[in-house]
Amino acid sequence: LATLPFGVFSHSSTGGGARRIGVAVGDAVLDLAAVLDDAVFAAPSLDAFLARGRAVWSGTRVRITELLTDRRHQGRVTPHLLPRSEVALHLPFTVADYVDFYCSLDHASNVGRIFRPDAEPLLPNWRHLPVGYHGRAGTVVVSGTPVVRPHGQRRPPGAEAPTFGPSVRLDIEAEVGFVVGVGSPLGDPVPIEAFADHVFGVVLLNDWSARDIQAWEYQPLGPFLGKSFATSISPWVVPLEALQAARVEGPAQDPAPLPYLQRSEPWGLDLSIDVALNGEVVSRPPFATMYWTADQMLAHLTVNGASTRTGDLYASGTVSGPDRAQRGSLIELAWNGAEPLSLADGSTRSFLEDGDTVTLSATAPAADGSRLSLGEVTGTIHPARPSAFFLDGRVS
Amino acid sequence: LATLPFGVFSHSSTGGGARRIGVAVGDAVLDLAAVLDDAVFAAPSLDAFLARGRAVWSGTRVRITELLTDRRHQGRVTPHLLPRSEVALHLPFTVADYVDFYCSLDHASNVGRIFRPDAEPLLPNWRHLPVGYHGRAGTVVVSGTPVVRPHGQRRPPGAEAPTFGPSVRLDIEAEVGFVVGVGSPLGDPVPIEAFADHVFGVVLLNDWSARDIQAWEYQPLGPFLGKSFATSISPWVVPLEALQAARVEGPAQDPAPLPYLQRSEPWGLDLSIDVALNGEVVSRPPFATMYWTADQMLAHLTVNGASTRTGDLYASGTVSGPDRAQRGSLIELAWNGAEPLSLADGSTRSFLEDGDTVTLSATAPAADGSRLSLGEVTGTIHPARPSAFFLDGRVS
């Protein structure tokens, strides 16, 4: 009841399995269109609801809480609490633009140390702006969608020419995504103070990454096919309003950022993420350590006048804490293969194998001192397309 | 009549200025919904028409040609030929994902020579794959939209810390964009042979670039705010079918690309682009020189299983030929400020000034030996937001 995350579900009771909007309540999904007199909840996505803005988001939350707690509504509400096991969950909103940042000091430092061992781990711009880039919005998929191992070009160490085949360095990135509800017009930067007027809530996000494809392609214009084959998000969007008790100051920043990036409110979030590989927790990245906070990301994203739209999704970048057991990607956990992870079943991992399932889950402090759940995002690696599909390396 | 490009217009005659679909015919726009019995043309965007696929695109073109050439239809058609001067043109389709490639050997070499004078101009991957990255779909705007000079961080030469302010190195990139009509599902690479089953047509595209913002931000994840403030496209989408006479073999490629990138048909396009600055043609980039062709770009974009959608837009990257007068960006034309352009009015330019208007236009060979027009994309630089908007560098 403290969380009330929004999602899109279908169920045999909702007219032939049509999609509509629900909130998760314990082990049930409340069919909002059935209990709130508003057609916006009969939509197959959150888009129109997201666009209505902060006052409506907040009022809806109050109304749902009343319905669920006031015994007078019980008879009306109970029939529309559907068991979670009976519903299918779908992509909750139409992803407009997808941006991926790189906001963890520990992650950026680890990657720098792995790939440029003799140089400063952080590039000169890193402490001055939240580094980010655009990803592929069309391949953002909902939790549970199979992740097919991608083919691509990669250059073996020491070779001059690339080879072609399935990625052999498939990785995860444990991230938190922010969902824009109310957009902003072209030309108008969003002041850092206006963050919560624009961003509705958060999702958990796994930015699947083919490190071999990425390493060969990314200079000079950044990651492309090494990331664009799939990005998974949790089906439930947790409103910022549910995370009031999780708000913390972001880490101190040195040097002080330029004025447009200076924080006005604490928008660090004390989320504790679990990274589970085949059911075994292999890492616990702490989101509160992120150097750049979500309000800074939005202020930066728009300072050049770029517009935003309902459904824009921007992610934090891999969440890694200072300790080894807090790293949010396999390339860091296994230090680029030098220190493979040992799993409980006796096997080891440097990168993902076919059949591996990765599940990110998270909790946050609730107002009553307990912890609330942000749900999970999961995905299983399916084998690459058979080689017949790539007959002699040609797509057939 | 040889071109018949598709666009979206509004006119006082079309029900209060509602948007609908038209084709350009000389100095007129034919209101398709009025002459073809199909509601798809009464839509405010080309999206649904694009999704119908190649047979419908082709059949529609045949039908329009009949209507315009068979005198028996004249009475029915003439009232719906609206003067171009009376219509407003709009963004012709909903941009799904926007990808920008980097396919000109001369452009990539020039940029390499400017920024890494002592190294090989091309990076090792360049001849093996069409380098590309995702741009911001939400800031793709139609020709004529003002381009406001963006603010951002840039680091002056020799300085350690960045400063903040309006870009002082605002540039253009003359490009050709390809519009996906029929998408492809997640997991399925598009074979290079299937290019024309997916791509409907081309637009002219100006990828406005703030070189100072870009130079400071782009490592290691690529361009972001230096590009995302605006990307302009022409209002008319020229069907591939209109460009049959412009098709040429692409340049020979050495080394031979991997099999999935090997061309099966000539999809080079002999388009001649004019870059006009305040009405004066300053460059004539030849699109036929592009090292990677559009069929190769689509095959590469999807080889990792990335899905495509109706409205996906991918651009060629700056089109530059081998000669100085064929360069498609100011940074190349003025060699990073070392050789400013001299304009007819006696002024010089290294980068764009407020009030400058840049217009890209293009022609292509037609089947009858004449040349057909691809129309134009234009934009004027408006001054940066007044400093009051950025009070003490803070967005207010």
**Rounded distance, CA B199 to CA B57, Å?**
11
Q: Which residue of B has its CA nearest to A312?
A: B138
Q: Which chain B positions have a beta carbon within 8 Å of A128's beta carbon?
A: 153, 161-162
* Of B87, B82, B89, the residue nearest B11 (C-alpha): B87
**Rounded distance, CA A191 to CA A175, Å?**
24
**Rounded distance, CA A58 to CA B78, Å?**
55
Grouping H, G, I as helix, E, B as strand and the rest as coil, residue A35 is helix
**Burial of B315 from C-beta contacts in 10 A (0-12 / 13-18 / 19+):** buried
Which pLDDT value is given to residue A13?
80
**Rounded distance, CA A14 to CA A272, Å?**
35
Q: Residue B212 above 90 pLDDT? A: yes
Give B163-188 pLDDT, tens digit per residue: 999 999 999 999 999 999 999 999 99
Largest pairwise CA distance in chain A? 73
A209 to chain B, any CB pair closer than 8 A? The answer is no
CB-nearest to B303 from A131, A392, A395 is A395
Q: Residue B391 above 80 pLDDT? A: no
User: How would you classify residue A377: left for phi > 0, otherwise alpha for psi between -120 and 50, otherwise beta?
Assistant: beta
Give B73-94 pLDDT, tens digit per residue: 999 999 999 999 999 999 999 9
Q: Residue B16 above 90 pLDDT? A: no
Q: Which of residues 146-175 of B touch A (CB under 8 A)?
A: 148, 150-153, 155, 160-162, 164
Which pLDDT value is given to residue B388?
55
* Whether B143 contacts B276, CB under 8 Å: no
Which helix (H) or strand (E) segment is A47 a member of? helix A47-51
Q: CA A265: distance to chain centroid?
A: 23
Q: Residue B396 above 70 pLDDT? A: no
* Whether B198 contacts B54, CB under 8 Å: no
Grouping H, G, I as helix, E, B as strand and the rest as coil, residue A348 is strand
> Which residues, 6 or more positions from B346, have their beta carbon under 8 angstroms from its beta carbon?
none
A141 to chain B, any CB pair closer than 8 A? The answer is yes
* Whether A204 contacts B110, CB under 8 Å: no
Q: Residue B228 above 90 pLDDT? A: yes
Of A333-347, B13-27, B347-361, the one with minimum mean pLDDT is B13-27
Q: Which of residues 255-294 of A touch B (CB under 8 A)?
A: 255, 258-260, 262
Q: Which of A107, A151, A198, A300 is catalytic?
A: A107
B137 to chain A, any CB pair closer than 8 A? The answer is yes
- Residue B7: count other Cβ atoms within 10 Å of its Cβ: 24
**Burial of B62 from C-beta contacts in 10 A (0-12 / 13-18 / 19+):** exposed
Residue A107 appears among annotated catalytic residues: yes
End-to-end CA distance of chain A: 51
Only one residue has tokens 């400093």, namely B387
Q: Which chain B positions have a beta carbon within 8 Å of A217's beta carbon?
A: 125, 129, 131
* Whether B108 contacts A149, CB under 8 Å: no
Q: CA angle, corner B27, sides to B25 and B28, nearest 5?
A: 60
Which pLDDT value is given to residue B95?
98
Which pLDDT value is given to residue A56?
98
* Of B260, B291, B110, the residue nearest A162 (C-alpha): B260
Q: Number of CB pairs < 8 Å for A and B?
A: 224
Which pLDDT value is given to residue A395?
76
Which pLDDT value is given to residue A75?
96
Which pLDDT value is given to residue A217?
97
User: What tokens does B361 get?
Assistant: 């236009």
Only one residue has tokens 């964009």, namely B177
Q: Which of residues 325-384 of B touch A (CB under 8 A)?
A: none
A391, B145, B146, B225 from B382: Cα distances, Å: 53, 10, 6, 18
Mean pLDDT score, B264-272: 97
Q: Which residue of B has its CA nearest to A301?
A: B225
Which pLDDT value is given to residue B389?
65
Kindly compute the dihedral angle of the four CA atoms of residues B389, A304, B143, A97, in this order, to the nearest 10 degrees: -130
**Rounded distance, CA A54 to CA A47, Å?**
14
Which pLDDT value is given to residue A131?
98
Only one residue has tokens 């990073």, namely B336
Ranges of residues in chain A whose predicted pLDDT is under 50: none
**Rounded distance, CA B210 to CA B173, Å?**
11
Which pLDDT value is given to residue A16?
74
CB-nearest to A217 from B99, B125, B138 is B125
Kind of pairing between the strands at B28-31 and A147-148:
unpaired
Q: Residue B243 above 80 pLDDT? A: yes
Mean pLDDT score, B231-237: 98
**Rounded distance, CA B204 to CA B378, Å?**
10
Kind of pairing between the strands at A147-148 and A371-382:
parallel
**Burial of B341 from C-beta contacts in 10 A (0-12 / 13-18 / 19+):** middle
Which pLDDT value is given to residue B395?
76
Which pLDDT value is given to residue A115?
86
Kind of pairing between the strands at B313-315 and B371-382:
unpaired
Looking at residue A127, the DSSP 8-state letter turns out to be T
> Could you tell me which residues are beta bridge partners of residue A382?
A148
> What HEC string does chain B produce?
CCCCCEEEEECCCCCCCCCEEEEEECCEEEEHHHHCCCHHHHCCCCHHHHHCCHHHHHHHHHHHHHHHHCHHHHHHHHHHEEEHHHCEEECCCCCCCEEEECCCHHHHHHHHHHHCCCCCCCCCCCCCCCCEEEECHHHEEECCCCEECCEEEECCCCCCCCEEEECCCEECCEEEEEEECCCECCCCCCCHHHHHHHEEEEEEEECCEEHHHHHHHCCCCCCCCCCCCCEEECCCEEEHHHHHHHEECCCCCCCCCCHHHCCCCCCEECCEEEEEECCEEEECCEHHHCCCCHHHHHHHHHCCCCCECCCCEEECCCCCCCCHHHCCCHHHHCCCCCCCEECCCCCEECCCCCCCEEEEEEEEECCCCCEEEEEEEEEEEECCCCHHHEECCEEC
CB-nearest to A306 from B139, B259, B305 is B139
A158, A174, B75, B163, B216 from A129: Cα distances, Å: 34, 21, 62, 12, 10
Grouping H, G, I as helix, E, B as strand and the rest as coil, residue A379 is strand
Q: Residue B60 above 90 pLDDT? A: yes
A47, A201, A363, B183 from A64: Cα distances, Å: 19, 17, 22, 39
Q: Which of B107, B151, B198, B300 is catalytic?
A: B107
> Could you tell me which residues are beta bridge partners of residue A276?
A281, A359
Which pLDDT value is given to residue B236?
98
Only one residue has tokens 């749902």, namely A64
* Whether B352 contacts B171, CB under 8 Å: yes
Of A330-344, B109-123, B314-328, the one with minimum mean pLDDT is B109-123
Mean pLDDT score, B26-40: 96
What pTM, to 2 d.p., does this model score? 0.97
* Whether A46 contacts A175, CB under 8 Å: no
Which pLDDT value is given to residue B245?
98
Which pLDDT value is given to residue B362?
98
